[in-house]
Amino acid sequence: MGRFDRYLFQQLLMLFGFFSLVLILVFWVNSAVSLLDKLLGDGQSARAFFYLTLLSLPSVMSRVLAIAGFAAAVFVTNRLSNESELVVVQASGYSPYRLSRSVFVFSIVVTLMIGVLSHALVPMSLREGALRRAEL
């Protein structure tokens, strides 16, 4: 990867992390409120609440990562366009396909993350959550 590719990839990852964190917290708090009401109404401990909400985190992450990746790509592209960085890079000889290479690599990374979550971590956490709910 060239210097500009690394720069663009770094910007994408940084904003992806930010958007992921914010969206995961929003969705997680939203699902935790209903679980809190249900568990505390049944007289369960706060430890059981935190354990069950942590088990719901992989499913929340699998729903949010694609949205965060899209938001990061749009935000970085818009910022580069507004600050005329894209114009400068295109004037230096980069083709649109060459510019999209970093975004393509970024999308593969996000896809792999979602794939691991969807096929491995989410089923394990759902099984464990169902077992813990049955115990409670």
Question: By residue range, what is the domain housing residue 10?
Answer: 3-135
Environment class of residue 105 by beta-carbon count within 10 Å: exposed (0-12), middle (13-18) or buried (19+)? Answer: middle
Q: What pLDDT is attached to residue 90?
A: 87
Asked if residues 103 and 8 have their Cβ atoms less than 8 Å apart, the reply is yes
How many Å apart are CA 103 and CA 12, to the nearest integer? 8
- Domains in the chain: how many in total? 1
End-to-end alpha carbon distance in the chain: 52
Q: How confident is the prediction along the chain (136 residues), in pLDDT tens digits per residue?
A: 788 889 999 999 999 999 999 999 999 888 888 777 777 777 777 787 888 888 888 989 999 999 999 999 999 999 999 998 888 888 888 888 888 899 999 999 999 999 999 999 999 998 998 888 788 7
